[in-house]
């Protein structure tokens, strides 16, 4: 994959970014769903791709994107400025937990670092981008509890192994799992990611699954449908 990834309504320059555009990110961006969205926060925006997808999906929303890595935040800023959504996109180069603000958001999204307690990548920038400890998720849920509007939603994509831990962490911050979409490569394979939606209301859990491929190297119709508004290939 080259440095420039062309979407239907914007392009993303990935040069110098520790984490490039990946399936997790575009699935979260495409499958995020919420009503009456006027403010969105993308935690750990990287190249800015999810924030750009949010700006396309929610045409009346202002999208804020926080990124701790300075080089990545500068690249995201460039991508934002080169898009037709530039007036509705704001980049913040900061650790999310050190970003002092009193804002509230209708929607908070994140393709967060993960692999808790796993072997950390020796490259420091990729380590920050791709790995974390349990404290990150504790902090993220606390931040969401403090900054979500009353009917706001926190939506994240994570490995299925983290599900129980995150449900408990959400509850301890007054956020309940409201929707769970399990991601599978094929119909006969086990889920490897889950898109989780948390909110303040303790609603009946909505569960679904999503298949990426109908056969090897051939995307499912569902995958093509949700990414058709974004991908040139579809």
Topology (CATH level 3) of domain 4-227: Rossmann fold (3.40.50)
124-134: average pLDDT? 47
pTM, entire model = 0.91
pLDDT at position 118 is: 43
pLDDT at position 133 is: 65
Nearest to 7 by CA among 67, 38, 47: 47
For 102, counting Cβ atoms within 10 Å of its Cβ (0-12 exposed, 13-18 middle, 19+ buried), the class is exposed
Q: How confident is the model at residue 135 (pLDDT cuts 50, 70, 90)?
A: confident
pLDDT exceeds cutoff 60 at 155: yes
pLDDT at position 114 is: 62
pLDDT exceeds cutoff 90 at 3: no
Tokens of 182: 């399990």
Task: Please state, as a whole number, how many other Cβ atoms lie within 10 Å of the Cβ of residue 19.
Answer: 20
pLDDT exceeds cutoff 50 at 2: yes
Tokens of 13: 């320059």
pLDDT at position 116 is: 40
b or e along 27-61 (b: 16 or more beta carbons within 10 Å of the residue's beta carbon)?
A: bbbbbbebeebebbbbbbbbbbbbbbbbbbbbeeb
Q: How confident is the model at residue 6 (pLDDT cuts 50, 70, 90)?
A: very high
Cα gap 41→24, rounded to integer Å = 17
pLDDT exceeds cutoff 80 at 11: yes
pLDDT exceeds cutoff 70 at 1: no
115-129: average pLDDT? 42
116-143: average pLDDT? 60
Q: How confident is the model at residue 60 (pLDDT cuts 50, 70, 90)?
A: very high
Q: Using one digit for the tens of pLDDT, what is the confidence trace for 160-212? A: 988 999 999 999 999 999 999 999 999 999 999 999 999 999 999 999 999 99
91-119: average pLDDT? 84
Q: What percent of the chain has pLDDT over 70?
A: 91
Tokens of 32: 């995020």
- Backbone torsions φ then ψ of 201, nearest 5 degrees: -85, 135
Q: How confident is the model at residue 134 (pLDDT cuts 50, 70, 90)?
A: confident
Edge to edge, the sheet with strand 206-211 lists 89-93, 62-67, 39-43, 105-110, 148-159, 193-199, 176-184, 206-211
């Amino acid at each position: 994959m080259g440095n420039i990834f062309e979407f239907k309504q914007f392009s993303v320059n990935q040069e110098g970014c520790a984490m490039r555009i990946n399936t997790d990110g575009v699935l979260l961006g495409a499958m995020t769903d919420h009503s009456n969205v006027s403010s969105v926060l993308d935690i750990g925006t990287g190249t800015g791709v999810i924030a750009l997808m949010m700006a396309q999906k929610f045409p009346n929303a202002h999208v804020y994107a926080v990124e701790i890595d300075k080089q990545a935040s500068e690249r995201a800023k460039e991508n934002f400025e080169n898009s037709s959504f530039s007036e509705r996109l704001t980049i913040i180069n900061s650790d999310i937990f050190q970003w002092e603000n009193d804002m509230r958001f209708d929607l908070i999204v994140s393709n967060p670092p993960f692999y808790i307690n796993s072997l950390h990548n020796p490259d420091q920038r990729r380590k920050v981008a791709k790995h974390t400890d349990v404290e990150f998720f504790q902090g993220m849920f606390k931040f969401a509890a403090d900054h979500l509007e009353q009917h706001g939603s926190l939506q994240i994509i994570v490995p299925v192994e983290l599900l129980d831990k995150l449900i408990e962490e959400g509850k301890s911050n007054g956020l309940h799992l409201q929707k769970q979409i399990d991601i599978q490569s094929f119909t006969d394979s086990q889920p490897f990611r889950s898109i989780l939606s948390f909110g303040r209301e303790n609603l009946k859990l909505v569960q679904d699954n999503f298949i990426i491929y109908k056969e090897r190297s051939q995307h499912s119709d569902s995958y093509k449908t949700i990414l058709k508004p974004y991908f040139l290939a579809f």
